[in-house]
Every structure is written in structure tokens, then in C-alpha cells.
Amino acid sequence: MKPRRIQLLIWSLLIATYLIGCDYKNDNNSDISNKGVVSDEKSHEDPDDNIDNNINDNNISENKVDRDHNDDEIKPKLIPVYLDNDQELIYTVEAEDGIFTGNVMIESGASGYQGSGYVKGFEADEDTCTVKVSVKQDGMYDMNFISASIGGYKENYIYVDGENLGVISTDNKEFSDVVLERVYLTVGEHEVTVKKYWGWIMLDRVEVYTSRQINPDKYKIKPILANKNASENAKRLMSYLCDIYDEYFLSGQYCDTGRYGKEFVVINKTTGKTPAILGLDFIEYTPSRVEMGSKGSQTELAINFWKEGGIVTFCWHWNAPSKYLTKEWYRGFYTEATNINLKRIMDGQDKEGYDLLMKDIDAIAKELLKLQEAEVPILWRPLHEASGGWFWWGASGPEAYIELYKLLYERLTNEYQLNNLIWVWNGQDKDWYPGDEYVDIIGEDIYPGERVYTSQVARYLKALDYTSSAKLTYLTENGCLFDPDLAIRDGAMWGSWCTWGGEFVAKDIGIHTLSEQYTEADMLIKVYSHENVLNLEDLPNITTYPIGE
């Protein structure tokens, strides 16, 4: 039986005897299939953790929010990512004692290193430095790569025993800590490799620490939306998302031709399952593309998928107004294809640019109003990947971006009264976070390479730290899939994934042919058949789902 059903029975008894103080949540999963029933045992604990998952369960409401007695404002409780900061250094190895390939070599000209030197020369794709570390028991460990950047921000790959675990990043020209958190290591010796991605770093040494315990309160989310006037279906959907979070992963897939497009057909043909979330893009509705003959059909596709019981998410590759396009018009969302200056616009120095952006917003609002009229709640993810700078809305820095994000929120929420939107922020850097009052879900987009099935827990933890409250955290775009077993083991409880279309799933040649370039067929089948993955077939009727508190 689900914990929430047990709690409901207890709550009824307590009311009868006027006892107060237990934690209560509605039995919101009454329509979920057996697969979607949350189990009593949380399965994402570390193998060597003895911490009770029910810590403070009887005080969830107190831990989550403080209510101001003078008004109805809900103030988030500060929730750190970790329960404590206790870590033990268990192994250190100097980079100069490793094995090198390509251009990597030992040097000692810079200051601040330890040992007899450091290594540099990460310049070509096959340049690597491999060191060996050893641990005495199975468990989670943090790896600290003491390194320095040569020429600004740099990212480089980390492999453990030949498996790509993601990247480390640094923009510090001095030797400093660069930590990859929660790497699962079995007892014994392991090979740790730093491989050139962007390259151009100096690597001094590698340290291995015991990992800190993730604060369980970061997984406990109340279904409170930023928009206090949210529609009934938006509230119902948010309640469902919160109820399954920390236990289940919603499957998702971008497909610009809808449920019966090639990506969905290939997935169903291979696995027998249908993704729970359909990802769509408002790109073709942008005025500068409409001027060139583009015509979107995504609004109708979204309505159809909702009617078939699915969940819809929208991004918007916002093509800049025609005035600012400098290269091919169809690439007008890229910084390199425009000369738009968002800072000047937001500072009031480009009034025409401001008016043009408002016109663009009006065009998208028109489509969102159609979805609202059809009672379709949307996981709305505008202005995505801003901190990368490759899209024009991120090219002027965080201040201008946050202004635009807030303006978009206020215009759609207050002026257009769009109450069917669940706001998914996807800026991908803490400095770009607009504030909890504008965000319902935090999203990360990750493309780690080909056939990399790791949980990407380091990015998950990074996202948890964007806010001192607790937010649903989703993998809003991905190339290859992650292995659910690894995600559960690592505590990387992404609420969903949403694989990008095209080559990440389907080949361009042939009709409805699976591409295994990024995710092999066996892994695709494993993921979609996993007991902790919810597909379209597993979803309840959201239109009747109870609204939580």
C-alpha cells in the first residue's frame, strides 16, 4: 500500500480524536496504475547509507514552507542540498604520476601546484591523463580535480574505468578545486582519466573524498504553482508530478509531428511503449519565420496528445525579429546569426527592438490561449539554455536575460491571464535563476556523448543548488538515455527526461528506423520497460486527478 494511503487513514482517525500534527497529503494517486504506485521503500539511497528516509516525515509542512500570519504569502524554507558537510579525504594522487597520451606532458613553470609538477597539453581530441585511485569499500565518492584554466572557461571529460561520467569545468587561472560529485566506486583500484573536450587546462592532482548525504527534503515538493490563479488542470498535473517525484521517471520525447511522428513510432515499435511526455517547439509561429512562409501545427498536435491522455511540454526557439537577422533566417535563434543586443533593449536604448519582441510574445500568447481554451496544461520552457550564450537571449549576460524572463512571465500571466502554464526554468546556471516566484520546475539539458548511460548526478546536484528551496528537477533535453538503475542508486531522481528528436532516436534514412548512435536498442527497451519509468500507458486521468495541498 502507498504511504499516502496509509497516511490518509491515519489522518481520518486523528481528526476524529482532534489530534493534530501529522503530515498529510491527499491520496492523489487513486487513478495511477499499479506501476505508478509509490512504494514504501525509497530505492535511491546509497548502498552504505543507514539514514532513515522518513527523517522529519511528521514535519514536512513545517520544513517546506513558513506562512506569514499577516497575509497568504508562502515563504520557502531554506533547504540545503546536503545534510552536513562532513567529508573524509581518503586518497590523493599527483597528476604527474599518471599515464599520458597525445600532447599531455609534465611541467612546473606555474605556481601553486603540489608535488613535483603538474600536467598540461590538453589540446587534441586524444589527449589524456590517467591516474589510479583506490577505495576500501563500495560507495559514493567525490573526486576533486585540482586544476587551472588556460584562457577562460573550460570543460573536459572525466572517465572512470573507461566509462564517461560527464565533464568538469573551471574558469580559474589559479589551481583550485573542481569537484565531480557522487561517483559510485566499488572496493579496489580504479582508473580515472581526464580527456580533452575543450582542453587547455593544467591538472595538478586528483583527490577522492567520501560523499555527503543528499538532504531528503530536496526530494519533497509541494504542488504549489508560481501562478496563484493556475487552472484546475495545471493544478491537477502539478499534484501528479509532485506525487510521483523521487520514485518514478516520466518518459518524454520531442517529436515535431506529434504522437504519430517518426520518433514516437520508432520508440513504440522497439519497446511497445509510448512516451508520457510529448515535446514540441513554437519556433514556426515566430513572426520572422512566418514572414518567410513557415506554418506551425504544434498547437493542434498538443491538443490531440492531451486528449489521448498525454502530457505536453513546449520550448520556443525564438527566432529574432527580421531586423536583427544577419545570416540564414531559419537560424535566427542563434547568437551568431543575429546582431540583436538584449541589454540595449531591456535598458530602453532600443525601443523598436522592445516593441518587436513584444509582438513576438503576442504571437506565441495567441497559441497558448488556444491551448488554454482547450484546457491543456503545458510544461512551458521558454528562454532555455541561456547561460551557454549560443542563443541570443543569453548573449547579453544574466541581468538582461532575467529581466526578459520576468517580463515574459508577467506578460503571459497577468496581461494574457494564461493560467495553464507550469513554468520550467532552464537557464542552466545559478547566476541566471530569476527567483522561486517565477519557477515551478528546474530543467537541465545534457548531451554527454554517444551511449553514455550514467545518471548525470553531478548536474542533478548542481540544479538542486540553484535555489535554497525545493523544486521538481527534470532532464528537459537529452541525447542518450540514462539507466534508471544508476539514477536510483546515485540519487539523481530526474522527474522526467525528454530526448531531442532526429538522430537521437530515428535515422534520417528509411521509414521509422531506430538509430542506435546514442542509445542502443537493448538500453531503450530496458529504460521504457523499467518498473520505475512511467509511460503514456501508465498515466492517470489528469482531468480528474485530486489537487494536492
Instruction: Tell me the residue range of the domain where 112 lies.
Output: 89-210
Domain with residue 512: its CATH number is 3.20.20.80
43 with 117, same domain?
A: no
- Residue that finishes a domain, picked among 192, 210, 228: 210
Is the residue at 79 inside a domain? Answer: no
Clarify whether residues 225 and 111 are in a common domain. no
Q: Is 10 helix (H, G, I), strand (E, B) or coil?
A: helix
State whether 429 and 344 are in the same domain: yes
Residue 82 lies in a domain: no
Tell me, yes or no, whether 225 lies in a domain: yes
Residues 38 and 185 in one domain: no
pLDDT of residue 506: 95
| Residue 385 annotated in active site | yes
* DSSP-based three-state secondary structure for 205: strand
Counting the structural domains of the chain, the total is 3
pLDDT value for 25: 36
Place of cell 492517470: 540
Residues 145 and 13 in one domain: no
Separation of alpha carbons 147 and 236, rounded Å: 47
- Domain finish residue from 163, 189, 210: 210
Residue 546 domain flag: no
The answer on 230 and 197 residing in a single domain is: no
**Which one from 94, 181, 385, 444 is the annotated catalytic residue?**
385
pLDDT at residue 75, as a whole number: 59
Q: The C-alpha cell of 40 is what?
A: 514504501
Report the SS3 class of residue 491.
Answer: coil
Does residue 547 belong to any structural domain of this protein?
no
First to last CA, the chain: 21
Residue-level pLDDT at 23: 39
Do 206 and 290 lie in one domain? The reply is: no
Q: What's residue 508's pLDDT?
A: 80
- Answer yes or no: do 108 and 39 share one domain: no
Measured CA to CA, the distance from residue 140 to residue 411 in angstroms comes to 45
Residues 369 and 475 in one domain: yes
The pLDDT value recorded for residue 30 is 40
- For residues 116 and 140, membership in a common domain is answered with yes
Does 477 participate in catalysis according to the annotation?
yes
> Are 186 and 257 within one domain?
no
Q: Write down the pTM of the prediction.
A: 0.84
362 shares a domain with 297: yes
Selecting among 189, 477, 503, 520, the annotated active-site residue is 477
Nearest to 441 by CA among 419, 463, 459: 463
Task: Please indicate, yes or no, if residue 81 is contained in any of the structural domains.
Answer: no
Low-confidence residues of the chain, pLDDT below 50? 1-33, 37-73
| Residue 80 maps to a domain | no
Per-residue pLDDT reduced to its tens digit, 246-301: 999 999 999 999 999 999 999 999 999 999 999 999 999 999 999 999 999 999 99
pLDDT at 177: 97
